[in-house]
Amino acid sequence: MSSTLQRRLALSTAALVALGVIAVAPSAHADGTAAECVAAGNVWVHVEYDETVTGACATEFATGGEAMVSAGLLESEPSWVTELLGRTAEDPEWWSLWTKEAGEDGAFGDWAFSMVGIADLEPSAGSVIGWRLLPDWNLDAEAPTVDPVEGVDLSPEPETPAAGDGTTDPDTPDRDDDGSTDGGSTDGGAAPTGGEAAPASPGLPSTGN
């Protein structure tokens, strides 16, 4: 995003501050950690200002504004954010808006400056919304300094094959200790051993020759 567009957005925010359009923020919900929040398919809202770094989990996030209300950071969905957690952006200060999402490999990328306002933002499940109070809208925007999902991996776990139940295939014959199988030989009898002559098969009488 160009610095010119960023400054225009900041100028609009500053104008709203001058008009007294300020959202009053209640305390943020402390619902677990950022890692737990995104792993559950929710949206983490990260906030940085002065020496404060905090955040809260949003379980409803059809829009960025809904996420802010769900996380307990705002009482109603705003068009612009000029105050968070009791910290008002005093001209030329402004609240910069950022997002962070996981890629196909499950790892989170860098902070990305939001190209739309919070009201038009449509966060995806498992993503992060970031706010950072910056000192001057005339200067280039700087991303949040803290990564609340550092080291978090959202790649799906590989499926583990089910363990066998220990039963034997009914079509497989049992083997004796000597390796032979039960069920008899294929010719219906045992083979002769030790030089014993096999009995003559009944049939034609001997000719005596």
CA distance linking residue 168 with residue 165, whole number of Å: 9
Q: Please tell me the predicted confidence (pLDDT) of residue 160.
A: 67
Q: Which residue has the tokens 């009914």?
A: 170
Stretches where the chain sits below pLDDT 50 are 1-30, 184-186, 188-192, 198-199, 201-209
Nearest to 29 by CA among 47, 60, 9, 55: 55
Residues 130, 100 contacting (CB under 8 angstroms): yes
Q: How far apart are CA 65 and CA 75, in angstroms?
A: 10
Residue 23: partners with Cβ closer than 8 Å, 6 or more residues away: 74, 75, 76, 78, 81, 82, 83
Which residues, at least 6 apart from 169, have a Cβ–Cβ distance to it below 8 Å?
Answer: none
Span 52-86, pLDDT tens digits? 999 999 999 999 999 999 999 999 999 899 999 99
* pLDDT of res. 134: 98
**Residue in the block written with tokens 């919070």:** 118
The pLDDT score that the predictor gives to residue 168 is: 52
Does the reported pTM lie above 0.85?
no
- For residue 156, the model assigns a pLDDT of 81
Residue found under tokens 């049939």: 203
**Rounded to an integer, what distance in angstroms lies between the CA atom of residue 161 and that of residue 151?**
28
Q: What is the largest CA-CA distance in the chain?
A: 132
Q: Say yes or no: domain 3-134 is CATH 3.40.50.40.
A: no
Q: What is the per-residue pLDDT for 32? A: 83
